[in-house]
Structure 1
Amino acid sequence: MEILEKIPAFVRISGPPNSNFLVGYPGISATMPRIEGKVEIRPGSGYTAPVAISFVSIGLYRKETIHPHADGVISGRLAAPRKELRKLVAKEQRLYQCPAGMPYEMVMAMDLPFMLMIPVSGSGSEDILNVPPASLTLPSRVAETYYELEVSVRQGHTELTKHTFPVPITRYDTLSSFGMYNRPETQERVSDHLVTLCMVLERWSFGPNDPVEVSVRLTPNPDWIVKARKVSISKIVVAIEEHITYNPQGDEPSTKVKQLTSKKEVVGQKLPESGYETRINIKFPAKELRDSDGYLPPGKPAFPLYEVSGFTTSATLYKIDYFLTVKAHMSSCRDITLRQKIVVSPFDYKTCHDELPAIQEAAQVAYRIGQEGPRLPAPVIIYPSDTAMLRRVNMTKVGNERKLIIQ
Structure 2
Amino acid sequence: MAAFVRVSGPPNGNFLIGYPGISATMPRIEGKVEIRPSVGITAPVRISMVTISLQRRETIHPSADSMTKKHLKAPRKEITDIVGKEMLLYRCAAGRDYEDIVSMDLPFVLFIPWGRGGQESSRRVPPASLQLPSRTAETYYEMVVMVQQGSQEQRKYAFPVPICRYDTLSTFGMYNRPESAERVSDHLVTLGISLPRWSYGPLDPVSVYVKLSPNPDWLSKARKVTINKITIGIDEEIIYNHEGDEPQRKVKTLTKKTETIGIKLPETGYLTHLGLVFPAKDMRDADGILPRSRPAFPLHAVSGFTTTASLYKIEYYVTVKAHLTSARDIIIRQPIVVCPIDHAGCKLEMEAIEQAARDAAYINPDNPMLPLPTVVRPSDSNALSCLGVAIVGNHKKPLID
TM-score range, shorter chain: over 0.9
Q: Which residue of 1 aligns with 2:61?
A: 67
Letter in 1 for 2:348: D
Q: Secondary structure at the match of 1:248?
A: coil
| Aligned with residue 27 of structure 1, among 10, 21, 29 | 21
Q: Secondary structure at the match of 2:74?
A: coil
| Aligned with residue 303 of structure 1, among 297, 307, 323 | 297
- In the TM superposition, 1:100-119 aligns within 5 A as 100-119=94-113
| Aligned with residue 162 of structure 1, among 156, 160, 176 | 156
Letter in 2 for 1:218: L
Say whether residues 1:235 and 2:237 are aligned partners. Answer: no
Cα distance in 1 between the residues matched to 2:49 and 2:104 = 11
Contact 1:40/1:111 (<8 A) preserved: yes
Q: Which residue of 2 aligns with 1:125?
A: 118
Cα distance in 1 between the residues matched to 2:210 and 2:326 = 20
Cα distance in 2 between the residues matched to 1:192 and 1:391 = 86
Q: Which residue of 1 aligns with 2:30?
A: 36
Letter in 2 for 1:257: V
Say whether residues 1:11 and 2:11 are aligned partners. Answer: no
- State the TM-score, normalizing by the size of structure 1: 0.95
Q: Which residue of 2 aligns with 1:390?
A: 384
Q: Which residue of 2 aligns with 1:285?
A: 279
From the superposition, tell whether residues 36 and 145 of structure 1 become closer, same or farther in structure 2 (CA, over 3 Å).
same
- In the TM superposition, 1:1-400 aligns within 5 A as 7-74=1-68, 78-122=72-116, 124-126=117-119, 130-370=124-364, 373-400=367-394
Please report how far the alpha carbon of residue 397 of structure 1 lies from its aligned counterpart in structure 2 after TM superposition: 2.6
Contact 2:63/2:70 (<8 A) preserved: no
Letter in 1 for 2:321: K
Contact 1:121/1:127 (<8 A) preserved: no
Q: Can you give the 5+ residue segments of structure 1 that lack an aligned partner in the other structure?
A: 1-6
Please report how far the alpha carbon of residue 73 of structure 1 lies from its aligned counterpart in structure 2 after TM superposition: 3.4
Deviations 1:203-256 (A, max 9, x none): 000000000000001111111111111111111000000010011111111111
Please report how far the alpha carbon of residue 75 of structure 1 lies from its aligned counterpart in structure 2 after TM superposition: 6.0
Please report how far the alpha carbon of residue 14 of structure 1 lies from its aligned counterpart in structure 2 after TM superposition: 0.3
Q: Secondary structure at the match of 1:362?
A: helix
Cα distance in 2 between the residues matched to 1:103 and 1:244 = 51
From the superposition, tell whether residues 273 and 83 of structure 1 become closer, same or farther in structure 2 (CA, over 3 Å).
same
Q: Which residue of 2 aligns with 1:4?
A: none
Deviations 1:54-73 (A, max 9, x none): 11011111000000001123
Please report how far the alpha carbon of residue 191 of structure 1 lies from its aligned counterpart in structure 2 after TM superposition: 0.7
Cα distance in 2 between the residues matched to 1:321 and 1:220 = 32
Count, aligned residues: 400
Q: Secondary structure at the match of 1:74?
A: helix
Cα distance in 1 between the residues matched to 2:176 and 2:159 = 38
Contact 2:102/2:384 (<8 A) preserved: no
Q: Can you give the 5+ residue segments of structure 2 that lack an aligned partner in the other structure?
A: none
From the superposition, tell whether residues 49 and 76 of structure 1 become closer, same or farther in structure 2 (CA, over 3 Å).
closer
CA RMSD of aligned residues (A): 1.6
Q: Secondary structure at the match of 2:358?
A: helix
Deviations 1:283-332 (A, max 9, x none): 00001110111111233211000110000000010000000000000111
Please report how far the alpha carbon of residue 125 of structure 1 lies from its aligned counterpart in structure 2 after TM superposition: 2.9
